[in-house]
A and B are shown apart, each in its own frame.
Chain A
């Protein structure tokens, strides 16, 4: 069993969101970078849990990114990946990224490809499904549970108002969210070992781009909170009906 985990680098969840160059670029000054939380907590950690039960499982990581993403890949290796591939491109178009992942996935003949639910910066929630279409494999979005049997996976996913369990043959692609794995903290031993784990760098294959980012816009600031005295909450109810017109 070979698992490919798609890892992306995102600004820390508390990073200040601001833009430069006429609002065309994210302002990276002072920004801390992390592994996209969905990729780390759910996709990668679930792969590690599966490997802990079956040591024959191989976990490979892939990132499409420039050299600046390497500390993040090393951190993911420290958590428990066996080896990593970086496709050297800073392109952000999801179709381009999915094509790069699909090429590597095909060459490596992976049984299972895991992505996060979405990146917390682009909020695309699209790359996993694109990879699946490129590979012509099944895809389950927003998986909350994954178990593997000899020839198939048993996957639970969120549906509106509940959940659904399905059986799917390998190979397949899943996007992972909460529920998939238990929380864990990387240990020092892992961090040392990660320094010597293989990290291959590949140049991207030529691929079309279907989108590009023109500009960013910050939402208008709230005009300020209207405080209502705790003694008269009925005033709140009145305002919600007459002013905000929401109840």
Chain B
């Protein structure tokens, strides 16, 4: 019966996106009059009993350092065992890179209808339907899940984290016969950057900045705001910025609280990756730039004059 929330951690703590999924799972369990269980795989320094602060009463922890968490096959097998052990009907993921590899596999194993990119709690008035983004954020679809078992993968930044009080009981879980189908050779991490997918503020710039040497002010503004940096596709294609910063239809799709676009025209393919942002600020010297139509706030002006002034104003604010 219960709802299981697949809960991811990075280094020391539970990921923010997983806290969103937990809040979603707890709310859903409440609607269905059942329990919400957080399922954690692998060793972590996070104090799991503190998930009680988010309404979780039970944390099931497969604390086995030999599990290769990048192996989608073993992860799906482990989660399936937990689902079986706790007789869960619904599994909730945050739609992360990990979930994209694991949730569909679990869907096949459980014969559970899967909705990825969910943005709201299910509508239970007529069956079980979940709203998700389609057409790269240009529309939503209500997807009816027809099977008895169900999997929902929640978009990042789509559901508010809900605080509660209490302590969660942590129960160890031993998974059996886990296959290992891949061998990790190396991992390269870009240290110190704020992960774009998880960032709640993003400062982004486009071809209007003329060249890579002009990104200093973008980075400075991002740093002041605690924001991640992003860019339009031609900027990444010209190697002015690293490829992982490219947002849009063919790049990363993001939904931060604040998206500041500097010298980006607002082509439809760019908008497709950023139009779920809550507040959009556009700085462009062309008053006709299409981006202004999708913006909440705009400044028509030269980025090289406007951005340094914004940086000054943010510094003043912080004093």
Interface residues of A (CB under 8 A from B): 11, 13-14, 17, 19, 37-38, 41, 94-95, 98, 120-130, 132-134, 136-142, 154, 157-169, 175, 178-179, 208-219, 222, 225-230, 233-234, 236-241, 244, 246-247
- In contact, B113 and A138 (Cβ under 8 angstroms): no
Q: Which residues of A contact B107 (CB under 8 A)?
A: 95, 126, 130, 133, 210
Residues B292 and A225 in contact, CB atoms below 8 Å apart: yes
- Report how far A168 CA is from B73 CA in the complex, Å: 12
What are 22 A-B contacts with C-beta separation under 8 Å?
A94-B114, A95-B107, A95-B108, A123-B134, A123-B136, A127-B104, A130-B105, A132-B72, A139-B105, A162-B187, A162-B190, A163-B188, A164-B70, A165-B184, A168-B183, A213-B143, A216-B139, A227-B298, A228-B297, A228-B298, A244-B258, A247-B317
Query: In the complex, are the beta carbons of B225 and A95 less than 8 A apart?
Result: no
B294 at the interface (CB under 8 A from A): yes
Closest to A38 in B: B250
A-chain residues with CB within 8 Å of residue B141 when the two chains form the complex: 213-217
Tell me the residues in window 58-72 of chain B with beta carbons closer than 8 Å to chain A beta carbons.
Answer: 70-72
Contact yes or no, B294 A222, CB < 8 A: yes
Q: Please determine whether B185 and A154 come into contact, CB atoms closer than 8 angstroms.
A: yes
On whether A216 and B299 interact (CB within 8 A), knowing A140-B101, A210-B112, A247-B314, the answer reads no
Q: A19 contacts which chain B residues (CB < 8 A)?
A: 139
Q: Collect the chain A residues with CB atoms within 8 Å of residue B190's CB.
A: 161-162
Smallest beta-carbon distance A184→chain B, Å: 14
Tell me if B104 and A225 are in contact (CB < 8 A): no
Chain B residue with minimal CB distance to A241?
Answer: B317
Chain B residue nearest in CB terms to A160: B195
B33 near A: Cβ within 8 Å? Answer: no
Residues in A neighbouring B249, C-beta threshold 8 A = 13, 37, 120
Which of the 9-residue segments B24-32, B205-213, B277-285 touches chain A? B277-285
Least Cβ–Cβ distance between B243 and chain A, in angstroms? 6
Contact across chains for B146 and A211 when beta carbons are under 8 A apart: yes
Q: Is the CB of A211 within 8 A of B101?
A: no
Which residue on chain A has the smallest CB distance to residue B113? A210
Q: Give the chain B neighbours of A225 by CB distance below 8 A.
A: 282, 292-293, 295-298
Given contacts A133-B105, A246-B279, contact A164 B305 (CB under 8 A): no
- Asked if residues B297 and A166 are in contact (CB atoms below 8 Å), the reply is no
The count of A-to-B residue pairs whose CB atoms sit within 8 angstroms is: 268
Which B residues are CB-close (under 8 A) to A120?
135-136, 249, 272
Question: Would you call A164 and B105 a contact (CB within 8 A)?
Answer: no
Residue B46 at the A interface, CB < 8 A?
Answer: no
A125 touches B185 (CB 8 A): no
B288 within 8 A of A: no
**Cβ contacts under 8 Å, B72 to chain A:** 129, 132, 138-141
A227 touches which of B225, B279, B299 (Cβ 8 Å): B299
Chain B, interface SS category = mixed
Report the count of interface residues on B (CB-CB < 8 A).
Answer: 96
Tell me if B269 and A13 are in contact (CB < 8 A).
Answer: yes
Are A159 and B70 in contact, with the CB atoms below 8 A?
yes
A139-B105, A160-B97, A161-B195 as given contacts; A214 in contact with B73, CB under 8 Å: no
A132-B297 contact in complex given A13-B249, A160-B195, C-beta closer than 8 Å: no
Q: What is the bound-complex CA distance between A98 and B107, given in angstroms?
A: 11
B298 touches A125 (CB 8 A): no
Cβ contacts under 8 Å, A213 to chain B: 141-144
B231 contacts the other chain (CB 8 A): no
- Are B146 and A168 neighbours in the complex by a CB distance under 8 Å? no
Q: B317 contacts A237, CB within 8 Å?
A: yes
Contacts of A246 in B (CB 8 A): 201, 257-258, 278-279
- CB-CB < 8 A to B193: which residues of A? 161
Nearest 10 pairs of A and B residues by beta carbon: A230-B301, A210-B113, A129-B104, A162-B189, A234-B313, A126-B104, A141-B101, A133-B108, A138-B181, A133-B105
Interface check B76, CB cutoff 8 A: yes
Query: Quick check: A218 and B139 within 8 Å, CB to CB?
Result: yes
A125 (CB) vs chain B CBs: closest residue: B100
Q: Contact: A123 with B116, CB < 8 Å?
A: yes
Question: Does B57 touch A at the CB level, under 8 Å?
Answer: no
Min CB gap B52→A, angstroms: 26
Checking B104, B181, B243, B299 against A168 with a beta-carbon cut-off of 8 angstroms, the contacting residue is B181
